[in-house]
Chain A
Amino acid sequence: MHGPGRRLGLCNCVHETMTDYAKRATAGFRPCIGGAATALALLLALPHGATSFPIDGDQGVLPAGSELNEDAVYVPHELLHSEYRGDRTSYVVALGNVAFNSPSILGDVARRAGISCGTCHIGGAANAKLFVPGLSTRPGTFDTSGPLFNPKGDNHVFDPVRIPSLRGVRYLAPYGHDGRIASLREFVRNVIVGEFAGPEPSPALLDAVTAYVQEIDFLPNPRLGARGRLNERASESERRGEALFAKPFPHDPDLSCAGCHQPSGAFVDHRQHDVGSGGLYKTPTLLNADFNAPYFHDGRYDSFEQVVDHFDRTYELGLSPQDRADLVAYLRAIGDARQPYDADSVVTRFKDIENFSLLLAQAIEAHDRDAIDLAVDTLGNELRDIIERFPDHRDTAVTDGLAERRMARAAVKDVVISLRRIALAASAADFAAAAAEYKTYYGLTFDKAQPLLRGTERWSLFNAPLREAHDAERRKMMRVPAQPQKSAGAPQ
């Protein structure tokens, strides 16, 4: 799933900006290698200008200034293990995926804010832009023991941690930044119940979410060979960095970078260490780490350069400028990935919709009301979000293709109502009616709505220049006063 799909046209969130994307592209890739070519091609195709819409005002569930990054133009690529193998996703994994992206499994505050697991872990990757005032020190960090989502779990300490990527998480036990929980299933439960005050999940639901999270793979890295070693594509600098990485520390020969970040073991050792960052924290993986900034448990560092400097200082490594550059080059090489991002588009959205629709069909057949509700909930949110990408006549920034946009909007709205009929039939235990309605839903979705959306996409907010024009209006409109105006606004 590429986003929780809740914000519709009224969202406030940040986009993956051109500047950010350029940084990622140039920091994480080299032209002509794997993801680099793709990233640069995407970069050239994009309009200029950064877009940022922090949530303002005091009316919403989240504090003013919150950023959820749900309008990103490019979304992290998600690779499920079953997909990597070329297999179909299992029912359990698909159910977990739906639940992962449904606010309904979390507590009341998260639900009203439209926040799901997928808000922080977009497509399994870390949401490096997420920022909630009072819960974040900087983008990409979050205080999971803060007061907002679960007051009973508030530890009264402002201690945000970096939002972790879940890629390859099945290889990365123990869980939590300090490795306090051995079991991924228990960790998932703790997030749902402990951090976000959700209802106790059923064993089946917990199994499903855990199974889905376990399916999230590392993205392939075309620069890594067997045993986590650089392959023949490596540069001289990267090779020097690899050697330095394995070299014992001068003042403590029992230690080396590779001693903890073991290349043949997903660059982890499953242990906690005090590396001078304020306590014992588990060794993070370096695979796909180009896309995992900020770094360290509290997200204190933005770049590999800063990380290398930290270790140089802490362990008195005596690195030369060339050594530092080589280590950074090595980290970038092993942290790379093929196709790290997908352009947000009808095609990418329908990949999720297809999977979730299949789950819905299976849930109806199994008379599984909980799964039906989750699928309807998540599909409905996703479809409503798509509708808002195809603006109606009120959006003066998008002028062409109005008739076509209306047709597409109408078709998707019909799909949403068809989904609701399925839910209503299921809630009345009339699964035959639900199955019959599913056939209608399927036809409306894939025979009618999808072609209309594809044919109209050039006039939608999936089209970057139109998106930029739309966002420019939003930027102009959303300017807020330095001092809140209380005199006339209705109390909310």
Chain B
Amino acid sequence: MKAIFLGIIAVLALAPNAGASPLTATAESYRHHLGDDIGQALAGARMLRERLAANDLDGARRAWIAARAGWERSEVFTSGFVPELDEQIDAWPNASHGFHGIEASLFGASGTDAGAETEALVAHLADLHAQIARIELAPQRLLNGIARLAFEVGGNKADGGESRLSGTSLDDMRSNADGIALAWRVIFADAVEAGDPKLAAAVRAAVARLQDDVKVARLRDVDGEKLRADTEELVALLEMAAPKIGLSKPALEEGAR
């Protein structure tokens, strides 16, 4: 039954002007994963607020890290669909608001009170969480998000990466890779498999390589050149896959096409 269903999806996906894309259905099934990830980020931010109120610095740091994991998995979605909130939540470099502003307070030398920034972070994440229930998850934009994030992960983090003060840059990269793997598997993998199994296998292998590249003990163990090559190959494969499922070549910057 499932195979038949997938076959129908593939046929519809390959048909030109097929109207509502069957990918819309798979994108819809991605929605709850997205909700879970942003929900984890929100729960972490709320815990962070609570721990700060209790003057529990270690607990606050753990909560920040937990919030960060959910956020990073959802980056397939965030930078393209909600750039304004993305800027508020994950501005970089920025020491005054968002995750990294709070990171500077929690893990840096400034020792400033992160209460106001955390309150704002909770509010922004709550806003985002609410939006996820109703926002249109256009498959093209989700494919854009996968490709864009893959490209970004390929950037060199040998100097300590984005979350340097907390020491969690490698976690960021792993969460990004997991987010890419999840979105691809849930939304696009079956449709490509039905139309071009060989290409689907190639994408699957490229995603697995990306996950392996960041499955190392320490950030310094990441082979940056291999990671870059692997992520770029993944993007190239996604560009090949797009027309096979009725989509355009993914835009590597939202709003640039």
| Cα separation A492 to B170 with both chains bound (whole Å) | 7
| Cα separation A104 to B79 with both chains bound (whole Å) | 32
| Cα separation A10 to B255 with both chains bound (whole Å) | 24
Interface string of A45-67 (1 = CB under 8 A from B): 00000000001111111100000
Chain A residues, Cβ within 8 Å of B157? 10
Chain A residues, Cβ within 8 Å of B251? 410
Chain B residues, Cβ within 8 Å of A410? 251-253, 256-257
Given A55-B159, A395-B93: A480 and B233 within 8 A (CB)? no
Is A384 touching B155 in the complex (CB atoms < 8 A)?
Answer: yes
**Nearest B residue to A384, CB-CB:** B155
Shortest C-beta distance, B106 to chain A (Å), equals 8
Instruction: Check A42 for interface membership: any CB of B closer than 8 A.
Output: no
| Cα separation A113 to B165 with both chains bound (whole Å) | 19
| Cα separation A414 to B144 with both chains bound (whole Å) | 13
Is A417 touching B232 in the complex (CB atoms < 8 A)?
Answer: yes
> Contact partner of B87 among A9, A396, A419, A479, CB < 8 A?
A396
Is B155 touching A413 in the complex (CB atoms < 8 A)?
Answer: no
Is B87 touching A393 in the complex (CB atoms < 8 A)?
Answer: yes
Shortest C-beta distance, A329 to chain B (Å), equals 41
| Cα separation A441 to B154 with both chains bound (whole Å) | 20
Instruction: Check B114 for interface membership: any CB of A closer than 8 A.
Output: no
Chain B residues, Cβ within 8 Å of A489? 61, 65, 107, 166-168
Given A409-B256, A474-B93: A59 and B233 within 8 A (CB)? no
Shortest C-beta distance, B112 to chain A (Å), equals 10
Stretch at the interface among A264-272, A332-340, A420-428: A420-428
Interface size in chain B (residues, C-beta < 8 A): 67
Shortest C-beta distance, A378 to chain B (Å), equals 11
Chain A residues, Cβ within 8 Å of B103? 477
Is A417 touching B236 in the complex (CB atoms < 8 A)?
Answer: yes
Chain B residues, Cβ within 8 Å of A480? 108-109, 165
Chain B residues, Cβ within 8 Å of A460? none
Chain A residues, Cβ within 8 Å of B83? 393
Is B160 touching A12 in the complex (CB atoms < 8 A)?
Answer: yes
Interface string of B215-230 (1 = CB under 8 A from A): 0011111111100110
Is B220 touching A476 in the complex (CB atoms < 8 A)?
Answer: no
Shortest C-beta distance, A177 to chain B (Å), equals 29
Given A59-B220, A477-B100, A480-B109: A488 and B65 within 8 A (CB)? yes
| Cα separation A381 to B227 with both chains bound (whole Å) | 12
> Contact partner of A417 among B65, B222, B239, CB < 8 A?
B239
Shortest C-beta distance, A394 to chain B (Å), equals 5
Is A424 touching B107 in the complex (CB atoms < 8 A)?
Answer: no
Is A8 touching B156 in the complex (CB atoms < 8 A)?
Answer: yes
Interface string of B151-176 (1 = CB under 8 A from A): 10011111111101111111100000
Is A423 touching B229 in the complex (CB atoms < 8 A)?
Answer: yes
Given A6-B156, A57-B165: A490 and B256 within 8 A (CB)? no
Identify which of B222, B236, B257 gathers the most chain A CB atoms within 10 Å of its CB.
B236
Chain B residues, Cβ within 8 Å of A490? 65, 166-168, 170-171
Is A473 touching B93 in the complex (CB atoms < 8 A)?
Answer: yes
Is B218 touching A479 in the complex (CB atoms < 8 A)?
Answer: no
Identify which of B100, B160, B167 gathers the most chain A CB atoms within 10 Å of its CB.
B160
Chain A residues, Cβ within 8 Å of B248? none
Shortest C-beta distance, A442 to chain B (Å), equals 17
Is A10 touching B161 in the complex (CB atoms < 8 A)?
Answer: yes
Chain B residues, Cβ within 8 Å of A420? 229, 232-233, 235-236
Instruction: Check A203 for interface membership: any CB of B closer than 8 A.
Output: no
Is A487 touching B225 in the complex (CB atoms < 8 A)?
Answer: no
Is A8 touching B155 in the complex (CB atoms < 8 A)?
Answer: yes
Instruction: Check B17 for interface membership: any CB of A closer than 8 A.
Output: no
**Nearest B residue to A485, CB-CB:** B107
Interface string of A446-487 (1 = CB under 8 A from B): 000000000000000000000000100110111111100101
Instruction: Check A79 for interface membership: any CB of B closer than 8 A.
Output: no
Shortest C-beta distance, A49 to chain B (Å), equals 16
Chain A residues, Cβ within 8 Å of B164? 10, 56-57, 59, 478
Chain B residues, Cβ within 8 Å of A381? 156, 228
Chain A residues, Cβ within 8 Å of B119? none
**Nearest A residue to B87, CB-CB:** A393
| Cα separation A485 to B167 with both chains bound (whole Å) | 9
Is B256 touching A10 in the complex (CB atoms < 8 A)?
Answer: no
Is B94 touching A479 in the complex (CB atoms < 8 A)?
Answer: no
Chain A residues, Cβ within 8 Å of B169? 59, 492
| Cα separation A111 to B228 with both chains bound (whole Å) | 12
Instruction: Check B91 for interface membership: any CB of A closer than 8 A.
Output: yes
Chain B residues, Cβ within 8 Å of A11? 159
| Cα separation A394 to B90 with both chains bound (whole Å) | 7
| Cα separation A384 to B252 with both chains bound (whole Å) | 13
Instruction: Check A312 for interface membership: any CB of B closer than 8 A.
Output: no
* 20 contacting pairs across A/B (C-beta < 8 A): A7-B159, A11-B159, A61-B220, A393-B83, A407-B253, A407-B256, A409-B256, A410-B251, A413-B151, A417-B235, A417-B239, A417-B252, A420-B229, A420-B235, A477-B165, A478-B93, A487-B57, A490-B167, A492-B167, A492-B217
Q: Enumerate the 5 nearest inter-chain pairs by beta-carbon distance, A residue then B residue, closest first.
A: A488-B61, A489-B167, A410-B256, A476-B95, A410-B253
Other than A409-B253, A491-B217, give 10 A-B pairs with Cβ distance below 8 A. A57-B167, A60-B158, A111-B224, A384-B155, A392-B253, A407-B253, A477-B104, A481-B108, A488-B65, A490-B171
Hey, which bits of chain B sit against chain A, CB under 8 A?
57-58, 61-62, 64-65, 79, 83-84, 86-87, 90-96, 100-101, 103-104, 107-110, 151, 154-162, 164-171, 217-225, 228-229, 232-233, 235-236, 239, 251-257
Hey, which bits of chain A sit against chain B, CB under 8 A?
6-12, 55-62, 103-104, 111-114, 377, 380-381, 384, 388, 392-397, 403, 406-407, 409-411, 413-414, 416-417, 419-421, 423-424, 470, 473-474, 476-482, 485, 487-492
